[in-house]
């Protein structure tokens, strides 16, 4: 697969000398042609700065940026085969939906026949043919988002950058637009680079995710890998709900640690290559709430007592206290014939091989 974006040794600082703020540090990154790629991280991690550098709105302090094999460092936004969709849709209020979509093509001095055909194609793509003549004030927030996307897609850029475009939508509409975005990307084949702090958006839409913190990429990979095999505590904590357990190492064998669980039983957990704990030391191990199963009291790998239960509709989170007083959250899918255990109930916990992992702190 060809590479659409290649970033090498990219650094970005704001200010000079000791007062300088280092927004990005030593970023090396390639994004494949036709990929839905997501930059994920908390506010201030550098993801939007990186997006603005790709767009040409900011220049890197050092490093190189190539798009489709061409060096673009130093080129302005209008000289790059890129369009951007921002949090604010910035539609022209006096123009109809169709006129908004065709505006960029008009600025590019495309023939009227081409503009008309492309606008019709974009309206069909975003399923808004019946609203072509409406003003932005006459359509919903989700529909305005579709118009903004259609306008950005109309010139057929090689890359579409999306800077938290769903953040202004309510929860239900945001979920609908997640599906729409993935559909649009698949149908057009355009490379999407998406910025978000929302882990669910990243997991549901992306081909690959770069998890960022403090101007660095901590982990890069497919959603399943990021979720199931986080490289350190930050990634594990940021992506999804996680139980962190402090456990003692009883033995080391073939890339795994044998750990003593609360209550005295033992279990094996994969060791990351970056750490080499000694026997008798304590490590941080993680297990996702949905990767453990309740068993009758006295059975399973660990024993716990129910402190409380939180109902979420599709599932219930059981907040437990383990034998050594460490907290544990168990996520259980709801069934009509399965009431939640009452506070004070004793139960056991079991988990499949591979569910328990040791992390680098």
Residues in the chain: 361
State how beta strands 191-196 and 208-213 pair.
unpaired
**Residue where a domain stops, chosen among 236, 252, 271:** 236
Task: Report the mean per-residue pLDDT for the chain.
Answer: 90
Looking at the structure, tell me whether residues 139 and 276 fall in a common domain: no
Looking at the structure, tell me whether residues 267 and 213 fall in a common domain: no
Looking at the structure, tell me whether residues 353 and 230 fall in a common domain: no
Q: Which two tokens stand for residue 268?
A: 């094996």
Asked if 308 and 343 count as a contact pair (C-beta separation under 8 A), the reply is: yes
**Residue where a domain stops, chosen among 236, 268, 293:** 236
Please write the tens of the pLDDT for every residue from 257-296: 999 999 999 999 988 888 888 999 999 999 999 999 999 9
Looking at the structure, tell me whether residues 252 and 208 fall in a common domain: no
- pLDDT score for 254: 82
Looking at the structure, tell me whether residues 106 and 174 fall in a common domain: yes
Q: What is the domain count for the chain?
A: 2
What percentage of the chain carries pLDDT values higher than 70? Answer: 99
State how beta strands 82-85 and 159-163 pair.
parallel
- What mean pLDDT do residues 87-110 have? 88
Please write the tens of the pLDDT for every residue from 16-67: 878 889 999 999 999 999 999 999 999 999 999 999 999 999 999 999 999 9
Q: What is the DSSP letter of 214?
A: T
Confidence of residue 95 (pLDDT cuts 50, 70, 90): very high
Looking at the structure, tell me whether residues 145 and 251 fall in a common domain: no
Of the candidate ranges 98-107, 142-151, 298-307, the one whose mean pLDDT is the lowest? 142-151
Looking at the structure, tell me whether residues 33 and 164 fall in a common domain: yes
Confidence of residue 331 (pLDDT cuts 50, 70, 90): very high
Looking at the structure, tell me whether residues 155 and 188 fall in a common domain: yes
Burial readout 124-163 (b: 16 or more C-beta within 10 A, e: otherwise):
ebbebeebeeebbeebeebbbbbbbbbbbbbeebbbbbbb
Looking at the structure, tell me whether residues 32 and 81 fall in a common domain: yes
Q: Shortest CA distance to 7 belongs to which of 75, 60, 77?
A: 60
Confidence of residue 1 (pLDDT cuts 50, 70, 90): low
Task: Tell me: pLDDT of 98 over 70.
Answer: yes
- Which CATH number covers residue 318? 2.40.50.140
Where are the extended beta strands (E) located within 52-93? 62-67, 70-71, 82-85
Confidence of residue 183 (pLDDT cuts 50, 70, 90): confident
Q: Which residues contact 4 (CB under 8 A, 6 or more apart)?
A: 31, 32, 33, 34, 35, 67, 68, 158, 159, 191
What is the extent of the structural domain holding 294? 241-359
Q: Shortest CA distance to 343 belongs to which of 317, 325, 326, 318?
A: 318
Report the alpha-carbon angle 40-209-51, nearest 5. 55
Regarding predicted confidence, which is higher, 95 or 171? Answer: 95
Of the candidate ranges 2-6, 7-11, 87-91, 190-194, the one whose mean pLDDT is the lowest? 87-91
Looking at the structure, tell me whether residues 198 and 262 fall in a common domain: no
């Amino acid at each position: 697969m060809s590479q659409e974006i290649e970033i090498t040794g990219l650094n970005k600082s704001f200010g000079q000398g000791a007062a300088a703020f280092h927004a990005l540090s030593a970023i090396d990154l390639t994004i494949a042609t036709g990929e839905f790629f997501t930059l994920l991280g908390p506010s201030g991690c550098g993801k939007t700065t990186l997006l603005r550098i790709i767009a040409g709105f900011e220049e890197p302090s050092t490093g190189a940026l190539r798009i489709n094999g061409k060096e673009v460092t130093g080129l302005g936004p209008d000289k790059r085969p890129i369009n951007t969709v921002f949090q604010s849709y910035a539609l022209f209020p006096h123009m109809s939906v169709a006129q908004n979509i065709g505006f960029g093509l008009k600025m590019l001095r495309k023939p009227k026949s081409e503009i008309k055909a492309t606008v019709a194609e974009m309206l069909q793509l975003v399923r808004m043919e019946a609203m072509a003549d409406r003003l932005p004030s006459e359509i919903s927030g989700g529909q305005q988002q579709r118009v903004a996307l259609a306008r950005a897609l109309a010139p057929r850029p090689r890359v579409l950058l999306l800077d938290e475009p769903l953040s202004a939508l309510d929860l239900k509409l945001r979920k609908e637009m997640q599906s729409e975005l993935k559909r649009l990307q698949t149908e057009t084949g355009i490379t999407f680079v998406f910025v978000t702090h929302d882990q669910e958006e990243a997991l549901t839409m992306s081909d690959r995710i770069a998890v960022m913190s403090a101007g660095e990429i901590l982990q890069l990979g497919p959603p399943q890998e990021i979720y199931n095999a986080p490289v350190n505590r930050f990634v594990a904590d940021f992506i999804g709900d996680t139980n962190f357990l402090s456990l003692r190492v009883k033995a080391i064998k073939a890339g795994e640690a044998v750990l003593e669980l609360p209550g005295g039983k033992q279990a094996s957990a994969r060791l990351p290559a970056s750490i080499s704990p000694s026997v008798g030391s304590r490590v941080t191990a993680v297990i996702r709430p949905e990767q453990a199963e309740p068993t009758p009291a006295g059975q399973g790998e660990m024993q716990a007592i129910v402190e409380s239960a939180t109902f979420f509709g599709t599932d219930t989170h059981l907040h437990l206290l383990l034998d050594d007083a460490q907290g544990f959250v168990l996520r259980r899918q709801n069934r009509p014939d399965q009431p939640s255990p009452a506070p004070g109930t004793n139960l056991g916990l079991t988990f499949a091989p591979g569910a328990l992992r040791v992390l680098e702190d």
